[in-house]
Amino acid sequence: MSESIQVLLREHGVQVTAQRLAIMRVVAEHPHATADQLGDAVRARLGAISRQAVYDSLSVLVDKRLIRRIQPAGSAARYENRVDDNHHHLICRECRAMFDVDCATGAVPCLTADDDHGFEIDEAEVIYWGRCPTCRTAASSATSETARTSQPGNKISHPNKSERTTRSNP
């Protein structure tokens, strides 16, 4: 495996270093991990490596398209080695679990923008946000807990409603 990664790096014009090899390996082993999680995994293999060195190696590998970087809104970037397709991601709003979602097999309809503004489009990054099955199960048991303990008729009032109506008058 080490051999094939070295070949891959050279093919992409990346100088082979122990740190870059280790990053490539841990990204393959931990898809969608953050830089800090990858740093921990590299340290377990190589011993000391600075946070900056991890970030530097990742940015070289991302630039050379050996690793894909996903930047979900409001959370740390994740990295993966699945770079050869246009797959998308599902992220849980609560536990931040991330899953791959395939694009339609063969065709990539999401690359056909309604209006491409003359661009040659080569990537569509789609993130589906929602709640994973584990969190949904946890939430529904919590909801039934609340339903059992809350008092009937305890409705939420809307103190701003009348004010808003007044303001909307020209």
The two tokens of residue 162 are: 């009348």
Site string for Zn ion, 99-128 (x = CB under 5 A): -x----------------------------
Binding-residue pattern over the window 134 to 153 for Zn ion, x denoting contact by CB under 5 A:
-x------------------
CB of 92 to Zn ion, least distance (A): 3
70 Cβ contact list (under 8 Å, min separation 6): 32, 77, 78, 79, 80, 89, 98, 125, 127
78 near Zn ion (CB under 5 A): no
Q: How far is CA 141 from CA 5, 56, 97, 137, in A?
A: 46, 44, 20, 6
The answer to whether 21 and 2 are in contact (CB under 8 A) is yes
Q: Does position 8 bind Zn ion by CB under 5 A? A: no
Which one of 20-28, 88-96, 107-115, 150-158 is the stretch in contact with Zn ion (CB under 5 A)?
88-96
Residue indicated by tokens 């740093």: 39
Q: Is 92 in the site for Zn ion (CB under 5 A)?
A: yes
Q: Among residues 104, 69, 66, which one has the least CA distance to residue 87?
A: 104
Q: Does 132 bind Zn ion (CB under 5 A)?
A: yes
**CB of 53 or CB of 92, closer to Zn ion:** 92
Interface with Zn ion by CB under 5 A: which residues? 80, 92, 94-95, 97, 100, 132, 135
